[in-house]
Structure 1
Amino acid sequence: MAHEVVERIEKLGPEFAALAQENETLGRLSDKTAELMRAAGVIRLLQPEEYGGYAAHPRDFAEAVMALARYDGAAGWVAGVVGVHPWELAQMDPRVAQDVWGENPDIWIASPYMPSGIADPVAGGYTLTGRWPFSSGSDHCDWNFLGALRGDGKGKPAQPPAVLHVLVPRSDAPIIQDTWDVIGLCGTGSKDVVVENAFLPEYRTVDQTDVQFGTAATRFGRTETLYQLPFTSMFPLGITSAVIGICEGGLALHLAQQRDRVAVTGVQVKDDPYVLFAAGEAAAEIQASRMQLIDGISGLYDKMEAGVELTIEDRSMVRRNQVRCAWRAVAALDQIFARSGGNAPRRNNPLQRCWRDAHVGLAHMIHVPGVAYHANSLTAMGLDLPPAMQVLI
């Protein structure tokens, strides 16, 4: 059962936490951390059952990512990103799943989806060329989902522009080392990958629009509700879950460290009503973020399960709330970090790593509030969204 994944993460929690500094120093997840994540099964939560997955409710996936991120933000982030890829792979030609998981269901897939390359049509498929930054967890992944503009056959983007999600093996997308030098989420190893004129079979591609609107799966006979949810609801789910989990971990560290702390005034923090007020308010804000995020994706799932077609207003409301959840949780973490005393910023204090990780996580494009809030206001007024705005909704 999917809930067993969270139980395993909690049991392994101290080991994950003990490895977090090593991951930060390495600039990627350690081999041991990846081994523990595979043992927990977190990346297989959204994977089809016929390939050793749980085909779990997205709520279970979000809760597992949060649980892991509480112990190590980088591991939680990789789980949130890499863990969504089995969900998308399930919506593609069945030959793709066989290519990836036919011999080993624990094979991982990295991304990014930014259309930083061109897929030029040739007989039987495409040739792909480009360079993609931010391939989280790439050191432990054997395949990569990449975004690409469909070419015109001459190495230029076709008109009108069309975006494909394409799947390439690691042998065709080598990692460019030393391209992930950051102040937070260091252990995610979100490095650049490069593809040079690699052949891409047609069946390893899917139109971004088909995934975005949840119509890809039905083309290959998948009728499960899970695999018909919109990409723009599912992909942000894992990333925001990681940020909220990081903030939950920061809160737990703050409370543990303040329990016996004595301030410079000689007053024990447990007797300081102002610090305790801030901690209580932060706890409520972080919990509200968790609940609203889970409620949003659960509501979409329930509607689809009941055969109700999702509207663009439904999707935009979930995106609006998902963005707000991340900002609310990080703002709460800011409040308690500012009241954690002079030892909080020390490099040997894991609280400062939570603080840095959370802020870097907030910088991801799916957490930028402008478009999400703007789009939601337009849909609430019954107005149409410009095509460019619909891509992120």
Structure 2
Amino acid sequence: MPADTHQETGLGTGAEKVRVLAAPHAQDADRDRALRPEVVEAVREAGFARHFVASALGGAEGSFGELVEAVVSVAEECPATAWTASLAAHSARLAAHLPTEGQRTVWADGPDMLIAAGLIPSGRAVPAEGGWRVAGRWNYVSTVDSADWTLVCAAAPAPDGPPRLLFLALPRGSYRTLPTWDAIGMTATGSHTVVVEDVFVPEHLGFDRTELLTGRNTSSDADVHRVPFAAVAGLTFVAPAVGAALGALRAAGTVLTGDRRTPDREAVLTRAAARIDAARLLVQENARTLDTRDFTPATLARSERNAAAAAELAAEAVWTLIRTSGTGALSAGHPLQRFWRDVVTASSHKALQFETSAARSYAAAVLGPRDATN
């Protein structure tokens, strides 16, 4: 297994500034269903957007481990801000699969462009001279209202066989958004719907989804740009959930160890803390796997399993805390209920479900492929 040779980029220092700024606005952001513009700009200035951008374009080419710790730290104060920070970094990593000319176009004004991504292939791309004409509708595109660019996945007809799936980069202004995000948690992530109506996208602003899934990258030799998607997909969403669980633990501590402190309540707090620490260790293991490039079928399956398990542990821990804290913790102004809603919403993401890919991948790695007759 190769050693992790990444150098610290200073993202932790930037994250601390974001954390301090976001904390007093977290409750208002939850109520208003949007982050304050100054908080979004702080995420940009902290270095999240540039963390995985190529060094040749002014980016940091940072490590997954450093990013995870920064995201978890921010999420202890404001999970929605941490979600925004995590997506800013990971979506830029996706855009690093664009051809060289496309990367230069996206980051022409510097490496701190905020990029959103619609990962589900919900649109169509019709070949046109020099590129494609794109149309479609993509749901749950987090942070799109703040994005400078948005990546969307669309199906393009192939001469023989199934359609070719492409990621296409669209500049702000070439699409519109519908305010459809109405979930009870992570309310300020702005995970709205993107609508594209017959927009031309030049060839250099597109790449084949297969490269993303396999970890191949014909446009970059950087290690962080050559990662199988299964190893990193869950990490994007579970790190904010684990940080939110840590925030919930702190919020619950003032309730469970106050005037009504009892051995039973101390046990609840201790058990929840152990579950959250276990979740954090699983997330850290996934980051190490990425940074050391340990990409065997077994480790890839374990990474999917770890992400799902970490999300489940975080959700179980916070549910135990809120159930034991009483109705006071469910009041609109109490931070514990906000963290609870955020953890539940984050952990419901498809990338964090055992029943989707994690169980199938891990069982195949341990037991071999499933018998098609079963």
Settle same-fold status: TM greater than 0.5.
Answer: yes
Task: Give the alignment of 1:314-325 within 5 angstroms.
Answer: 314-325=299-310
Question: What is the CA–CA distance in structure 2 between the aligned matches of 1:252 and 1:365, rounded to whole Å?
Answer: 28
Give CA deviations for 1:125-146 in whole Å, capped at 9, x if unaligned. 1110100111111111011111
Question: What is the CA–CA distance in structure 1 between the aligned matches of 2:141 and 2:40, rounded to whole Å?
Answer: 16
Q: How far apart are 1:328 and its partner, in Å?
A: 0.8
The answer to whether the aligner puts 1:102 opposite 2:69 as a matched pair is no
Q: Which runs of 5+ in 1 are unaligned?
A: 264-268, 305-309, 387-393
Q: Report if the CA contact (8 A) 2:280-2:310 is conserved.
A: yes
The answer to whether the aligner puts 1:116 opposite 2:114 as a matched pair is no
Question: What is the CA–CA distance in structure 2 between the aligned matches of 1:377 and 1:127, rounded to whole Å?
Answer: 41
The answer to whether the aligner puts 1:173 opposite 2:179 as a matched pair is no
Question: What is the CA–CA distance in structure 2 between the aligned matches of 1:115 and 1:385, rounded to whole Å?
Answer: 29
Question: What is the CA–CA distance in structure 1 between the aligned matches of 2:208 and 2:71, rounded to whole Å?
Answer: 27
Question: What is the CA–CA distance in structure 2 between the aligned matches of 1:83 and 1:194, rounded to whole Å?
Answer: 23
The answer to whether the aligner puts 1:51 opposite 2:48 as a matched pair is no
The answer to whether the aligner puts 1:299 opposite 2:289 as a matched pair is yes
Give CA deviations for 1:270-316 in whole Å, capped at 9, x if unaligned. xx111111111111111111111111231243245xxxxx3333211
Q: How far apart are 1:147 and its partner, in Å?
A: 1.1
Question: What is the CA–CA distance in structure 2 between the aligned matches of 1:105 and 1:147, rounded to whole Å?
Answer: 22
- Secondary structure of 2:136 counterpart: strand
Q: Report if the CA contact (8 A) 1:67-1:245 is conserved.
A: yes
Equivalent residue in structure 1 for 2:233, among 232, 235, 256: 235
Q: How far apart are 1:370 and its partner, in Å?
A: 1.0
Q: How far apart are 1:11 and its partner, in Å?
A: 4.2
Give CA deviations for 1:224-275 in whole Å, capped at 9, x if unaligned. 222111122223212110111111111111113444x223xxxxx1xx1111
Q: Which amino acid aligns with 2:53?
A: Q
The answer to whether the aligner puts 1:247 opposite 2:237 as a matched pair is no
- Secondary structure of 1:289 counterpart: helix
Q: CA RMSD in A?
A: 2.0
Question: What is the CA–CA distance in structure 1 between the aligned matches of 2:157 and 2:79, rounded to whole Å?
Answer: 38
Q: How far apart are 1:57 and its partner, in Å?
A: 1.1
Q: How far apart are 1:335 and its partner, in Å?
A: 0.9
Equivalent residue in structure 2 for 1:143, among 145, 149, 169: 149
Q: How far apart are 1:180 and its partner, in Å?
A: 1.4
Q: Report if the CA contact (8 A) 1:378-1:385 is conserved.
A: no
- Report % sequence identity: 27
Greater shift, 289-298 or 46-55, is seen at: 46-55
- Aligned partner of 1:201 in structure 2 is 202
Question: What is the CA–CA distance in structure 2 between the aligned matches of 1:302 and 1:135, rounded to whole Å?
Answer: 30
Question: What is the CA–CA distance in structure 1 between the aligned matches of 2:209 and 2:188, rounded to whole Å?
Answer: 29
Q: How far apart are 1:209 and its partner, in Å?
A: 1.2
Q: Report if the CA contact (8 A) 1:65-1:238 is conserved.
A: no
- Aligned partner of 1:26 in structure 2 is 32
Q: Report if the CA contact (8 A) 2:50-2:59 is conserved.
A: yes
Distance 1:329 1:95, change over 3 A: same
Q: How far apart are 1:34 and its partner, in Å?
A: 0.6
The answer to whether the aligner puts 1:282 opposite 2:268 as a matched pair is no
Greater shift, 294-303 or 247-256, is seen at: 294-303
Question: What is the CA–CA distance in structure 2 between the aligned matches of 1:347 and 1:248, rounded to whole Å?
Answer: 20
Q: Which amino acid aligns with 2:347?
A: L
- Aligned partner of 1:391 in structure 2 is none
- Aligned partner of 2:214 in structure 1 is 213
Counting matched residue pairs gives 365
- Secondary structure of 1:128 counterpart: strand
Q: Which amino acid aligns with 1:206?
A: F
Q: How far apart are 1:321 and its partner, in Å?
A: 1.3
Distance 1:303 1:101, change over 3 A: closer
Question: What is the CA–CA distance in structure 2 between the aligned matches of 1:42 and 1:385, rounded to whole Å?
Answer: 44
The answer to whether the aligner puts 1:348 opposite 2:338 as a matched pair is no
Distance 1:349 1:3, change over 3 A: farther
Question: What is the CA–CA distance in structure 2 between the aligned matches of 1:104 and 1:8, rounded to whole Å?
Answer: 18
- Aligned partner of 2:3 in structure 1 is none
TM-score (norm 2): 0.92
Task: Give the alignment of 1:360-379 within 5 angstroms.
Answer: 360-371=345-356, 372-379=358-365
Question: What is the CA–CA distance in structure 2 between the aligned matches of 1:105 and 1:302, rounded to whole Å?
Answer: 25
Question: What is the CA–CA distance in structure 2 between the aligned matches of 1:195 and 1:29, rounded to whole Å?
Answer: 24
Distance 1:121 1:35, change over 3 A: same
Equivalent residue in structure 2 for 1:330, among 315, 332, 344: 315
Q: Which runs of 5+ in 2 are unaligned?
A: 1-6
Q: Which amino acid aligns with 1:370?
A: E
Q: Report if the CA contact (8 A) 1:28-1:137 is conserved.
A: no
Distance 1:385 1:350, change over 3 A: farther
Following superposition, which runs of at least 4 residues in structure 1 exceed 6 angstroms of deviation?
none
Distance 1:179 1:246, change over 3 A: same
